[in-house]
Amino acid sequence: MRKLLNLLVRVLLTFLAALVLAVVANASCWSSYRAPKVLLAHRGLAQTHPSDGLTRDTCTAERIHPPEHPYLENTLPSMRAAFEAGADIVEFDVHPTTDGQFAVFHDWRLECRTDGTGVTRERPLAYLKTLDIGHGYTADGGRTFPSRGRGVGLMPSLDEVLAAFPDRRFLINIKSNDPGEGDLLADRLLRLPAEQRALLMAYGGDLPIERLRARIPGLRGMSRRTLKDCALGYLALGWSGHVPDACRDTLLLVPVNLGFLLWGWPHRTIERMHAAGTEVFVIGPYGAGEIGTSGIDTLEDLGRLPAGYSGGLWTNRVDRIAPAFIAP
């Protein structure tokens, strides 16, 4: 029994020693790599809302914070304002329409934000262009609607966005898990000049992202599956410096309260991911909202970044965060 106990102690001590060596060897301080600061504005400069208690059916337009600016998400003015505020990348959402276009709009249905009805992808773009996309916004339970009447005709098409900002970076969110939508988006993006297409990334359902990446090799694409496989693979093997194939040409979203779990966080992790063609963005805390909606939106959130952090940042409040993040 004593021999067995001694053996177990030696194994445990060996494991702990190897773990300490791996942590030290992967420490971020050993890396001289400093990525450029990259600020991603989620849906442009948009109205925000509390993230607690959200479900898939929550109408977020009915619970916005009191407006601090006039912009509405996923519109050309909101994207322009985000870039002017300091965004390097703007994220926006797309739905295919019945007349072969892509509408830039978040919701699956139209009733929450607009004065229209029905499923977004079951309408033609011509109809969607007639809607007031600011119709449903209220910060006081429906007593007032500050954006009503100001959003008529503001829903853009994907073509309009790409034509308005040909030299800007975008992250395109496919809102379904329809593989055919990946093919439709690939068809559209393949008509762009290669240099403009290189500025674009996409994320969304597993099936359309898989099709999109197969059609356009090298396009950075992310889905829940790729994010999970990349994160878990790196957690398992990152101590060796190995970057799993799942982490190549994709996006890695890192909750600000979980980055410490990644080997070499932040500088060495980001260096390895960039070498694999992958963009890294810090997002809001895990548990504060669904991944892809929670951002670094307050100065308190910003203060949770590792000292000297330099890399990607995901925010819903580019107007508030850009001055503090970009400052040297």
What domains can be seen in the chain, in order of their start residue?
Answer: 38-326 (3.20.20.190)
Work out whether strand 102-104 and strand 89-96 pair parallel, antiparallel, or are unpaired. antiparallel
Q: Which of 274, 320, 313, 323 is CA-nearest to residue 39?
A: 313
Amino acid identity of 222?
M
SS3 state at 191: coil
Distance of CA 224 to the CA centre of its chain: 12
Give pTM, 2 decimals: 0.91
* N-to-C CA span, the chain: 61
Residue by residue, pLDDT tens for the chain (328 residues) are 565 555 554 545 444 444 344 444 555 555 788 899 999 999 999 999 988 777 878 899 999 999 999 999 999 999 999 999 999 999 999 999 999 999 999 999 999 999 999 999 999 999 999 999 999 999 999 999 999 999 999 999 999 999 999 999 999 999 999 999 999 999 999 999 999 999 999 999 999 999 999 999 999 999 999 999 999 999 999 999 999 999 999 999 999 999 999 999 999 999 999 999 999 999 999 875 555 578 999 999 999 999 999 999 999 999 999 999 987 6
